[in-house]
Amino acid sequence: MGNLWQASDSERKWVLALAAGVLLLGVRKLDLVVATHADTDHIEGISGVLRGFPVGELWVGHLKTDDPVLTAVLLTARERRVPLREVRRGDQLKVPGLTLNVLWPPGNVWSTEDNDNSVSMTLEVPTAGGKLWRTAILGDLADPAEALIGLGKLDLLKAAHHGSRFSSGEAVLTQTRPKDVLISVGRNTYGHPHPTVLARIEAVGAKVWRTNQAGTVRWPLP
Ligand SMILES: [Zn+2]
């Protein structure tokens, strides 16, 4: 937390909130931080995190040049000498017991909708039974893109876009057939999670975990 004094009020607020959660989980450093896309609710806290924790690498998808919040994040990364990597579909991170596959963005075409440029990934962990335990982290990717990037069968789906009705469509739910769906959502005026999304998830028999009800959700890897 040595550089917290340099942080702005808003960064300080974020890092203190994140620190409380992350430190309680026993995490003292972060090997990887992903700035999924240039939406404040996904990246505003990152400058504070970069100041508050040792971070190994920062990943971005769309390196948008006219977004002040993303620009602040990139400046902080440079100042803290955190390597920046622009990731694309096909990029992969493999460490013992864990593989992270980047499925989106492809990088050749950018949408004017930041959500559609979200870095979306699957995370795979081999289980004792010789199978893969699989989850997907989708940022705010919308339907139908979420169903077209090749997620395959999942054990856990982290619902895109906080349970927005424009994501977690029937196509992605029937493709991934998750046992559990995690919705990261706080108090909001957008109506997240939307009742139709909850109904679609219920229709495929998955259990819903909502951070606005359960708080921080810690998911043990097999
Ligand atoms: Zn969002």
pLDDT, tens only, 156-189:
999 999 999 999 999 999 999 999 999 999 999 9
Question: Nearest-CA neighbor of 62 among 105, 100, 102?
Answer: 105
Residue 129 CA, ligand 1 centroid: distance in Å: 35
Domain 1-86, CATH number (from 3.30.70, 3.30.60, 1.10.10, 3.40.50) = 3.40.50
In the prediction, which pLDDT does 10 show? 67
Does residue 61 surpass a pLDDT of 70? yes
Residue 72 CA, ligand 1 centroid: distance in Å: 18
Residue 140 CA, ligand 1 centroid: distance in Å: 5
In the prediction, which pLDDT does 101 show? 98
Residue 188 CA, ligand 1 centroid: distance in Å: 11
Residue 156 CA, ligand 1 centroid: distance in Å: 19
Domain 88-211, CATH number (from 3.60.15.10, 3.40.640.10, 3.30.70.120, 3.30.360.10) = 3.60.15.10
Residue 186 CA, ligand 1 centroid: distance in Å: 10
Angstrom CA distances, 14 to 85, 99, 203, stand at 23, 29, 36
pLDDT band at 2, cuts 50/70/90?
Answer: very low
Kindly state the average pLDDT of the residues 30-46. Answer: 93
Residue 87 CA, ligand 1 centroid: distance in Å: 19
In the prediction, which pLDDT does 23 show? 75
Residues 73-122 have pLDDT tens digits of: 999 999 999 999 999 999 999 999 999 999 999 998 999 999 999 999 99
Q: Is 140 exposed, middle or buried (0-12, 13-18, 19+ CB in 10 A)?
A: buried
In the prediction, which pLDDT does 126 show? 97
DSSP letters, the chain, are -TTGGGS-HHHHHHHHHHHHHHHHTT---EEEEEE-SS-HHHHTTHHHHHHHS-EEEEEESS--SS-HHHHHHHHHHHHTT--EEE--TT-EEEETTEEEEEEE--SSS--SSGGGG--EEEEEEE-TTS-EEEEEE-TTPPTTHHHHS---S-SEEE-GGGG-TTSS-HHHHHHH--SEEEE---S-SS-PSPHHHHHHHHHTTPEEEEHHHH-S------
What rounded mean pLDDT belongs to the chain? Answer: 92
Residue 21 CA, ligand 1 centroid: distance in Å: 19
Residue 119 CA, ligand 1 centroid: distance in Å: 12
In the prediction, which pLDDT does 1 show? 41
In the prediction, which pLDDT does 48 show? 86
Angstrom CA distances, 208 to 179, 180, 197, 201, stand at 9, 6, 10, 8
136 close to 115: Cβ distance less than 8 angstroms: no
Q: In whole angstroms, give the CA distance from residue 24 to residue 7.
A: 22
In the prediction, which pLDDT does 216 show? 86
In the prediction, which pLDDT does 146 show? 97
CATH 3.40.50 boundaries in the chain: 1-86
Residues 16-30 have pLDDT tens digits of: 777 777 777 888 899
In the prediction, which pLDDT does 82 show? 98
Residue 41 CA, ligand 1 centroid: distance in Å: 6
119 close to 34: Cβ distance less than 8 angstroms: yes
